Structure 1
């Protein structure tokens, strides 16, 4: 599943900004035109008359709002809303953050006396009282003391008489921030996510504030890099194995992060004999946001019953996508670029001319006889890739709720938006079969409620299967 936010210090295109229309409307039009020309998910919408009609109506409303928007920092709200129309989870809008040179005390003093800096609200705050009160907050409570692990320390507190609104108040003065500065403003949404406005202009960046919707869980604000001081860097093991009873084993996998692949492969070796000693296995990949596909490959023999079908990927050919692949430093795309240049513009071509369509193994294992695979909306990307392979097996039963729907499109390429503040992050490839699951997710065979005991439910389903073995 992709990173929601990362700060990269990039040079701004100062000469471009002077010559270009940097209004929200102009940037919105650039972004929408770019996606319509270069994004594979949009092509699906365009070829669906009913879906295209809805898209155009929604686009018209957003464009009207963009034409009225005076604050270009707030344009991110409209750009994010537009990307959701594409129903492509891996595409998005990024920030190009550029920081002022504040290398000496004179420059800092000049910056802090500027109107841009002084516009930010600062309140009177008893830091000792706040430290004492917030230090008692539970890790699951939104209120508490947060830090970037370096020089920024602030407390999130609820606004008086406003149960769903919070502010992040600076508690520790540093060279740019004073105690009492409002660093963040947060609003809880109905789905328990938060709209977060981060007053990044206080730190000398080229945005006065950036706004994103995000989840805040376990004392962490991931897309900003803040966490409660008491939160450990790792939330425990990313995997777990145990025997539930004399016939059933349980395997929990929280992540397929590429950095874990070797560790997971070693772990699988240690539990191999135990897995093959019992007829039933429950594999729990709830909230596994993905990572590397190879992180689960060594589990496939346990489920294998017949050759696995491998989905074919195709690339959307456009002049801009050709340019992005030519510029890319993440892979060797020379052959692909050559084929794209020969292809008909604005069409799909196979990503590989010699793509493998099936995957056969010598044989699967006798045990387990049945596997219950648990997944939820938090299961995404490579986690969904595992689901796709496992559901082809006669051994596998799937249980839970629809997966996240981050599986249909890939190979994200970035392009600068004029005026140097935002970047377009657009997928360039489409999977023939998996694209039907994008945004909606893969449905399980058995649905369960969030409040149910999923493991117990899986055991009950497997016990019914036992009678037919």
Structure 2
């Protein structure tokens, strides 16, 4: 056993040394990704036809120059991502394989340490700092009475910063940080100052680089965003109001939940549609069926729901139904690589036995049509009819935002056809036209490509990816997130 561990350890060491000792072969990785995407992605030819081959050729020329300059795996991944952006924003990605990701992280850490060592001593000496007194700070901390900038913050991934008020400005001093960093305890890490109706900032990087005029966005009383950086409040923290506690409970739940808000309104939170959630969603709806069908208003909250499988929300549709619903089919691009996805679904016991049998039949059909788009359900439009229209709920409000995507958007496309349903919130993500994702790993597992295997027949008449699905009732920034549910409830109840 010990010998086996030693062999494994030496193997890992050899791999690590090999990666550190040579630059990434970005040309080989890029060529693999480009070929795999061109041959398998369902949306590739659609975009070429739309934008023109000339635009694509020009894009390739620009990217080839960047491929030649990319030396590390992360640099190469960034160039690959830029190439993919030509086709669409979402439902495609390129990531590093697990082992390479670990090495890439180590390389970035080494580069950071190198940057630390290269900072001139005189710059460190000149940098603004104070002689920090822990006793003074602890007393100061206890005297902070209101939520705001003042307090102890965690600045990912290295620092704890104490922010204090200085006149009309705020200054953040380092309490803890990397031992190797040029800026140590007492050094100024952050400044926040009022500008107009908001705040701007200055942040000093680990190499003392100064980032000026980064906007400060107050996310809530425990998080703020400064430019591209995020700060988490550690102290002082104040007890949440009952309303805030309920809001956090709803939005942070990773499983479906249902609550009766009043005699007239039921709230249903659906955070995701991964097929593993289907049983929980079905059980929740079944257990609360008498309640749902006894009140006039139903709120369905799909904010931050990134999708999953359409099957997951199937049982919800009976509460929304008022008239036959039309759904445009998708075409599946049949390739040996894409077809394997159906075999994986056929083995997934989260799907019903009947559904798994249908996946196996679809796989067999696709294998007979490699290189072609296949209409698996044989009809370009399916029309769902139900025998029953429930009198209650009478009104259904679906809460959406910019992180509602994929299968959650398909739910909205279907639900909008009901006379009961209105959408509240902001535009959705826009990740539906090309769908049914699958993955492919490069020959050496350095990179993992995610792409789409189906294309919607809604195109080009009804595009979702371009701008998302629009709400019927737009909720603007004057209504904070904590107020969305009350706003929707009041609208439904006529208050």
TM-score range, shorter chain: 0.5 to 0.7
Structure 1 residues 275, 98: CA separation in 2 closer, same or farther (over 3 Å shift)?
closer
Residue number among 22, 25, 28 corresponding to 1:23 in the alignment: 25
- The answer to whether 1:394 aligns with 2:419 is yes
Specify which structure has the bigger relative contact order, considering alpha-carbon pairs within 8 angstroms and separated by 6 or more residues. 1
- The answer to whether 1:382 aligns with 2:407 is yes
Structure 2 residue matching 1:429: 3-state secondary structure? strand
Residue correspondence of structure 1 range 234-249 to structure 2 within 5 A: 236-237=249-250, 238=253, 239-244=257-262, 248-249=264-265
Once structures 1 and 2 are overlaid, which stretch shifts more, 60-69 or 73-82?
Answer: 60-69
Q: Is the 8 A contact 2:100 2:446 kept in 1?
A: no
Structure 2 residue matching 1:384: 3-state secondary structure? helix
Tell me which residue corresponds to 1:33.
35
Distance 1:219 1:228 in 2: 6
Tell me which residue corresponds to 2:319.
302
- Give 1:323 shift: 6.7
Distance 1:290 1:41 in 2: 19
Distance 1:40 1:127 in 2: 59
Unpaired runs of 5+ in structure 2? 1-10, 164-173, 184-205, 207-218, 226-230, 238-246, 349-355
Compare the two structures and name the one with the higher helix fraction: 2
Tell me which residue corresponds to 1:67.
68
Structure 2 residue matching 1:436: 3-state secondary structure? coil
Query: What TM-score comes out, normalization by structure 1 length?
Result: 0.63
Residue number among 404, 407, 422 corresponding to 2:429 in the alignment: 404
Distance 1:432 1:134 in 2: 60
Distance 2:380 2:151 in 1: 48
- Give 1:366 shift: 0.4
- Give 1:71 shift: 3.4
Once structures 1 and 2 are overlaid, which stretch shifts more, 448-457 or 75-84?
Answer: 448-457
Structure 1 residues 384, 101: CA separation in 2 closer, same or farther (over 3 Å shift)?
closer
Tell me which residue corresponds to 1:77.
78
Q: Is the 8 A contact 1:146 1:228 kept in 2?
A: no
Residue number among 453, 458, 474 corresponding to 1:447 in the alignment: 474
Deviation readout 1:82-105 (Å, 9 max, x if unpaired):
222221622211211327999xxx
Query: What TM-score comes out, normalization by structure 2 length?
Result: 0.60
Distance 1:75 1:87 in 2: 19
Structure 1 residue matching 2:85: 3-state secondary structure? helix
- The answer to whether 1:373 aligns with 2:398 is yes
Tell me which residue corresponds to 2:449.
424
Distance 1:390 1:303 in 2: 7
Tell me which residue corresponds to 2:365.
339
Residue number among 230, 252, 256 corresponding to 2:272 in the alignment: 256
- Give 1:255 shift: 0.5
Distance 1:101 1:401 in 2: 37
Structure 1 residues 387, 31: CA separation in 2 closer, same or farther (over 3 Å shift)?
same
Unpaired runs of 5+ in structure 1? 1-9, 103-110, 159-168, 183-198, 200-215
- The answer to whether 1:268 aligns with 2:285 is yes
Structure 2 residue matching 1:428: 3-state secondary structure? strand
Tell me which residue corresponds to 1:43.
45
Distance 2:133 2:98 in 1: 34
Structure 1 residues 289, 423: CA separation in 2 closer, same or farther (over 3 Å shift)?
closer
Q: Is the 8 A contact 1:89 1:439 kept in 2?
A: no
- Give 1:316 shift: 1.0
Distance 2:313 2:30 in 1: 40
Distance 1:431 1:448 in 2: 29
Distance 1:329 1:254 in 2: 25
Once structures 1 and 2 are overlaid, which stretch shifts more, 432-441 or 387-396?
Answer: 432-441
Deviation >6 Å, runs of 4+: 10-14, 99-102, 115-118, 122-129, 131-143, 169-172, 216-221, 226-231, 323-329
Tell me which residue corresponds to 2:96.
95
Distance 1:140 1:254 in 2: 33
User: How much is the aligned-residue C-alpha RMSD, in angstroms?
Assistant: 5.6
Deviation readout 1:96-153 (Å, 9 max, x if unpaired):
1327999xxxxxxxx99xx889747479999997x98999998999984489xxxx98
- Give 1:251 shift: 1.3
Tell me which residue corresponds to 1:208.
none
- Give 1:368 shift: 2.1
